[in-house]
Amino acid sequence: MSKESKRGGNRRVIWRTLCYAKPIRWWLALAGLLALGVIACALAGPKLTGALVQQLYDYWAGDRAGGAAALAAAMAPGLLLLLGVYGAHSLFAYLKMRLMNQVVSRHFTCDLRIQIADKIRRLPVKFVDGTPVGEVLQRMTDDVSRMGGTVHDIIDTMMSGFLQIIAIAAVMLWEDWRLALLVIALMPLSVWLSAMLAEKSSKYFREMHRQSGRLYAVVEESYTNYATTKAYNLEEYNHRRHEEINRLQQAAEARANFLGSVVQPVIAFSNALAYILINLLGGWLIVYQGVAVGTVMTIVLFARQIASPLEQIANGMSNIQHATAAAGRVFDILDREEEPPIPGRLDREEVRGQVDFADVSFSYDKAKPLIRHLAIHVEPGQKVAIVGPTGAGKTTIVNLLMRFYDVDGGRICVDGQDLSRVSREDSRSLFAMVLQDTWLFKGTIAENVAYGRPDATREEIQRCCDEAYCDHFIRTLPKGYDTVIGEDNITISGGQKQLLTIARALLSDRKLLILDEATSNVDTRTELLIQKAMDKLMRGRTCFVIAHRLSTIVDADSILVVRDGQIVEQGRHRELLEKKGFYYQLYTSQYAV
């Protein structure tokens, strides 16, 4: 990418960030008025100080009439006014800082995070499948905070800094154009060096954010699967991964911070040079040109004061480059293509549960076809088992049923209605799911069971838990149904979690059911309870069961044997065994029959 295109891209990101701040524009305008108050006080301070110095000079250089008392009386109004000016300066600066921090943090960053969360809700499932959770978290937290810093730097630091420089330059020119030009002549060099160094640091900030996203992902993986890490003694391996990414991030951050930190010493040097020259030239003007001492003192104070906004601008440029890299990652999410809305409606109360796959084709990667011309017919209330080796396409069939992915060709119909013409919300409202990997959120037992039906009554929740054989163990918990999972050292076994998810599916009362074999890794007694609960759950529903242990689906109405995305065999358990085909091989390999 050329330098021009990079600059243009950065400018577009900055402009877009400011556009996102439009809802808080009136608060920003108020902050701007406070900034003008700060600038006015900053201009009045040196002017008043110069006048007081001139009074002192005139007193000591004159006949000192009236003595110290007269001098004190003459200077008292100016001193009080100067005290008031600097008091007002501190008050305006505090109010501006408080307003900017409150508005940016409470409104801008909060609203932006809500927008990102809403955007992710409308993105295809493949985005979540293909993006590490840690990276998404970093974009929603650190990167959004950096964008809030951008608004602060542009509106507050940069704009008020430029306004202050212009105002100081104008006042200095009014006081004495010769001394003013000496200060102003060195300012373009400082600004140019700041801009150049800030631009060079931008690529290192982008690399730093990229490595930071990788680090978030590694940390999330390590601690999400902490027991596995311990079991396989992978602590050293994870340590090396952390160390490698940390070193890459450290290298990029060191380069970026070095270039950013060089700016302030450069500006300080140019300001010190200007300060020395002003004092020398000012002394010569006082002696040989009759310039008032107060005027020179005013210019000297302004020369010292102009260093602050120059440093603000330099730091602002560096921070903006940092935040631009972060904003680009946030906009990458906000600009992703959403799932197109589908207006079609489907009344789930009228659904009987007939399902048809008609010549369905699908692949995650267009270069690697997975499912080709799949045809399935399922009558209402039937129990259909899907079996096959790992990677055969069992989960993909379920993903297509749930509209997590859309088919590339063909149709999936429920009661003859093409699901692709029905909204995804209505399509998914037909299905309940019980998966092998149970998922419970931090909340009460009752809230977890009612996840699919938040309006369910306590009596309905308890009835479904009783049917799912988990009411007894719930009542043994300290607070029963109001026990919060994950608090007060409350631990629930894997089998108990599975029973709760079955109760959740019972309460949702959907006509179609998807089951991923849920009886693995539990004791025999709990397995029997889970199997009995699942039998109740499947009663009267069209069920699709992803089977891993083939002994659990011997009573299925139809068994689909999937291999390389194709149904290679179909029938009941005994029929398939008699064929002695691929299903027979799978079954005998498990049970050595």
170: its two tokens: 């104008």
The pLDDT assigned to 191 comes to: 65
The residue that leads in pLDDT, 218 or 376, is 376
pLDDT at 404 over 50: yes
pLDDT band at 45 (very low <50, low <70, confident <90, very high): confident
pLDDT of residue 182: 72
pLDDT at 1: 45
Query: If DSSP codes are grouped into helix, strand and coil, which group holds residue 360?
Result: strand
Residue with the bigger pLDDT between 203 and 82: it is 82
What is the per-residue DSSP string for 380-393?
TT-EEEEE-STTSS
- The one-letter amino acid code at 590 reads Q
Distance CA 146, CA 212 (A): 13
pLDDT for 105 equals 60
Token digits of residue 516: 């991923």
Q: How far apart are CA 373 and CA 360, in angstroms?
A: 5
Coil, strand or helix: which one is 133?
helix
pLDDT in tens, 101-126: 776 666 777 788 888 888 888 888 88
The residues with which 569 forms a beta bridge, in sequence order, are 561
- Exposed/middle/buried for residue 158 (C-beta within 10 Å: 0-12, 13-18, 19+): buried
Rounded distance, CA 473 to CA 256, Å? 57
Determine the pLDDT at residue 2.
Answer: 44
Return the ∠ at Cα 125 (arms to 109 and 392), rounded to 5°: 155
Q: How far apart are CA 134 and CA 242, in angstroms?
A: 14
Identify the pLDDT of residue 96.
80
pLDDT recorded at residue 261: 67
How far is residue 95's CA from residue 109's CA, in Å, rounded to a whole number? 20
Split at pLDDT 50, 70, 90, the class of 95 is: confident
Spatial distance between the Cα atoms of 219 and 134, rounded to a whole number of angstroms: 7
Number of C-alpha atoms within 13 angstroms, CB side, residue 468? 27
How does strand 371-378 pair with strand 417-418? unpaired
Give the model's pLDDT for residue 488. 54
> 409-441 pLDDT, tens per residue?
899 998 888 888 888 888 888 888 887 777 787
Q: And the tokens for 252? A: 């990029």
Question: Can you tell me whether residue 565 is helix, strand or coil?
Answer: coil
> When comparing pLDDT for 392 and 7, which is higher?
392
Structure tokens at 102: 């409150």
- Which residue type sits at 507? L
Query: Nearest-CA neighbor of 375 among 581, 564, 573, 567?
Result: 567
- CA-CA distance, 404 to 289, in Å (whole number)? 83
pLDDT in tens, 166-220: 777 787 778 777 777 777 776 666 667 666 766 666 667 767 767 776 776 777 6
Asked whether the beta carbons of 556 and 385 are under 8 A apart, the reply is yes
Rounded to the nearest 10°, the torsion over CA 375, 376, 377, 379 is -170
Span 301-322, average pLDDT: 70
Q: Are 483 and 496 within 8 A, CB to CB?
A: no
Retrieve residue 148's tokens: 């809030």
pLDDT band of 392, cuts 50, 70, 90: confident
User: Which of 235-239, 457-461, 487-491, 552-556 is predicted with the least confidence, judged by mean pLDDT?
Assistant: 487-491
Whole-number Å distance between alpha carbons of 184 and 166? 10
What is the sign, positive or negative, of the torsion defined by CA atoms of 163, 166, 170, 173? positive
pLDDT attached to residue 64: 63
Tokens representing 363 are 């692949």
Averaged confidence pLDDT in the chain: 78
Distance of CA 133 to the CA centre of its chain: 10
pLDDT band at 473 (very low <50, low <70, confident <90, very high): confident
DSSP H or E run through 303: helix 293-305
- Residue 480 above 50 pLDDT? yes
What's the token pair of residue 571?
A: 């029938």
Q: Which two tokens stand for residue 559?
A: 């068994």
CA-CA distance, 308 to 304, in Å (whole number)?
Answer: 8
The position carrying tokens 């009661």 is 415
The DSSP bridge pattern shows strands 512-516 and 409-414 to be unpaired
Tens digits of per-residue pLDDT, 144-160? 877 776 676 666 666 67
Question: What is the C-alpha to C-alpha distance for residues 28 and 32, in angstroms, rounded to an integer?
Answer: 6
**Burial annotation 192-225 (CB, 10 A radius, 16+ → b, else e):** ebbeebbbebbbbbbbbbbbbbbbbbbbbbbeee
The larger pLDDT score, comparing residue 222 to residue 503, is at 503
Q: Three-class SS of residue 516?
A: strand
Beta carbons of 502 and 432 less than 8 angstroms apart: no
Residue 341 clears pLDDT 50, i.e. is over it:
yes
Q: What H or E segment, with its residue span, contains residue 554?
A: none
pLDDT score at 39 = 79
> What percent of the chain has pLDDT above 70?
81
Q: Is 159 helix (H, G, I), strand (E, B) or coil?
A: helix
Distance CA 117, CA 137 (A): 10
Q: Tell me: pLDDT of 454 over 70.
A: yes
Separation between Cα atoms, residue 232 and residue 227, nearest integer Å: 9
**Residue 365 — pLDDT band, cuts 50, 70, 90?**
confident
What distance in Å separates the CA atoms of residue 385 and residue 515, rounded to the nearest whole number? 9
Identify the pLDDT of residue 6. 47
Could you tell me the domains of the chain?
20-334 (1.20.1560.10), 350-591 (3.40.50.300)
User: What pLDDT was estimated at residue 523?
Assistant: 63
Q: Average the pLDDT over 371-395 and give the result.
A: 86
- Answer yes or no: is pLDDT of 303 > 60: yes
Question: Would you state the structure tokens that stand for residue 128, as one six-digit string?
Answer: 């979540």
> pLDDT at position 4, please?
44
- What angle, 0 to 180 degrees and rounded to 10, lies between the N-to-C axes of helices 159-175 and 293-305? 160
How far is the CA of 203 from the CAs of 16, 40, 488, in angstroms? 20, 38, 47
Using pLDDT thresholds of 50, 70 and 90, give the confidence band for residue 5. very low
